[in-house]
Amino acid sequence: MLNIGIIGAGGVGSTAAFALIMRGVARKVVLIDQNAKRAEAEAEDIAHATPFAYANKIKAGTYKDLENTDVVIITAGANQKPGETRNDLLATNVKIFESIIPQLAEHAPNAILVIASNPMDVMTSVAIKLSGFPENRVFGSGTVLDTARFRTLLGYHLGVSPKSLHANVLGEHGDSEVLIWSNAVAGTVQLEQLSKDLDRPLTEEVKNEIDDNVRNAAYKIIDGKGSTTFGIAGALCRICQAIDSNEYAILNVSALHHEVEGVKDICMSMPCVIGKRGIHNRLYPTFSEEEHAKLKQSAETIKGFTETALNYIKKELFFPLQQTPGAIRGFKFIYRVFCGNFPLPGKPRQAKHQSHPPSELKSLIAGFA
């Protein structure tokens, strides 16, 4: 079982905490929210359910309580309102992350970060930049939920269990996501063949209806009840289960890819192998030409919003300018490189370097020593 921290005790965070406790994935959950009273109430309410499941612990806490945490799930951020897209939340949530991530880097430096705040793909890039964590330890919940929606609706139409279906949604967790029909299978049978065998044809009209219901599911749910909670909680629980069991499960999480369909350095959902270290491998399946084109369009959409988000961040370093262990190491590295006491790759170490850094740099580094 995992020690898990959840940042944000709203609908998504508290529901995820409940799922993790009831499924026995978490040994301990720490709920953190700027509204401490809300976090305490949610933690106490969930704790009262533990006698019916596992004798696990949940409490409200602060960032200091995240020491030795295995996974930190970030759900904090502005809520998506009826009529808003996920990308409308961008500027507000970047500011929120600028206050959250440095504290996580200080108190949970070895944790895996799982991002659920929207726009999720973009916020994953922001989290990587602000934390300075290795790429395998920061990823978003991706289209794990969207894929579950796709399989559920396909299962309803075909009259088979969604668990027997292997059909995926890739790209953005948002309006440009891509439903992959070309390589979808049920068991070992191609989807098109199965639909004929069961006399439940997948006409273009049926496909378009399923696509619309998957792509716009969140909007419909938000319009009806104000937010999505249960589906994303289930997705987060599934991801943590794969980490806990070192399962090497293939899940469509949003990871940093150095190139997808010619678009460089973006976080987007593609199949990834998930285990104890977070992301163990990234996979790149083949699709139809039309799906490749749509995936490229999705990647370009994410790239544009990512560049906007990173421009909001005034800091140019890949770690926060605070007195955290990572920041201290970073400043000492800069000091040594510019002072000549730390050779660059391929450059022999000098026996003694005569130059001295500017007094301003000395003072700055002294403050972080």
CATH code assigned at 287: 3.90.110.10
Q: Distance between CA 169 and CA 360 in Å, rounded?
A: 52
- Answer whether residue 51 is part of any domain: yes
Q: Is residue 318 part of a domain?
A: no
- The answer to whether 346 and 129 have CB atoms below 8 angstroms apart is no
Percent of the chain with pLDDT over 90: 71
Same domain, 177 and 300: yes
> pLDDT band at residue 314, thresholds of 50, 70 and 90?
low
Mean pLDDT, rounded, for 125-134: 94
Q: What is the pTM of this model?
A: 0.81
Measure the CA–CA gap between 314 and 262, rounded to whole angstroms.
28
Confidence of residue 333 (pLDDT cuts 50, 70, 90): very low
Mean pLDDT of 52-79: 92
Tell me which residues are annotated as active site. Answer: 173
* The last residue of a domain, from among 140, 173, 199: 140
Identify whether residues 132 and 214 lie together within a single domain.
no
Is residue 263 in a domain?
Answer: yes
**pLDDT band at residue 80, thresholds of 50, 70 and 90?**
low
Q: How confident is the model at residue 323 (pLDDT cuts 50, 70, 90)?
A: very low
CA gap 73, 233 in Å, rounded: 11
Same domain, 166 and 52: no
Q: Are residues 136 and 149 in the same domain?
A: no
Q: How confident is the model at residue 84 (pLDDT cuts 50, 70, 90)?
A: low
In a domain, 302, yes or no: yes
High-pLDDT (> 70) share of the chain, %: 82
Mean pLDDT of 248-263: 96
- Identify the pLDDT of residue 126: 94
pLDDT at 206 over 60: yes
Domain that holds residue 201: 144-312
Residues 182, 110, single domain; the answer is no
254, 357: one domain: no
The whole-number pLDDT of residue 312 equals: 81
Instruction: Give the pLDDT of residue 227.
Output: 86
Separation CA 211–CA 169 (nearest Å) = 10
Radius of gyration of the chain (CA): 22
Q: Classify residue 346 by its DSSP letter.
A: T
| pLDDT in the model for residue 91 | 81
- Return the structure tokens found at 271: 């199949």
**Per-chain mean pLDDT for the chain:** 85
Give the C-alpha separation, 364 to 369, whole Å. Answer: 9
Same domain, 157 and 305: yes
- pLDDT at res. 85: 63
Instruction: Among 125-129, 243-247, 336-340, name the one with the lowest average pLDDT.
Output: 336-340
Q: Are residues 187 and 120 in the same domain?
A: no
CB 171 within 8 A of CB 294: yes
Number of domains observed in the structure of the chain: 3
pLDDT of residue 36: 95
Quick check: 272 pLDDT over 90? Answer: yes
Both 280 and 162 in one domain: the answer is yes
Instruction: State the pLDDT at residue 309.
Output: 86
Minimum mean pLDDT range among 27-31, 293-297, 364-368: 364-368
Residues 219 and 361 in one domain: no
> Measuring CA to CA, which residue among 216, 16, 235 is closest to residue 145?
235
Statement to judge: residues 175 and 73 lie in one domain: no
